[in-house]
Amino acid sequence: MKKHYTPQPIDTSQVELPAELMALAEDIAHNVHEVWAKGRMDEGWSYGPQRDDEQRLHPGLVPYEELTEAERDYDRRTAMQTLRLITQLGFKISKE
């Protein structure tokens, strides 16, 4: 039995991030990839030119800099949305 699901993310479209948080987004995106890749490798996955779930091969198991621009953009969007959500919820991010 399928359940109907309609995603309802918090609207962060009006949140404008300062320049220093825009730079932070790239660092977060890079780390998101590193965390994902480490998790996959810890589960026994390794690099393969084609994804193969049975053999646990994935083409994305490369350094962040070697990802395609589209793949890096996916991580950047995740980072940006996270920073916008933090801001939307009233939290402040500051560097000490």
Is 90 a residue whose pLDDT tops 90?
Answer: yes
Calculate mean pLDDT across residues 76-96: 94
Q: Which residues pair with 52 in a beta bridge?
A: 57
The amino acid present at 62, given as its one-letter code, is: V
For residue range 25-81, what is the model confidence (pLDDT) as tens digits?
999 999 999 999 999 999 999 999 999 999 999 999 999 999 999 999 999 999 999
Going along the chain from its start, the domains and CATH numbers come out as: 25-88 (1.10.490.160)
| Cα→Cα distances 35→17, 22, 74, Å | 24, 20, 14
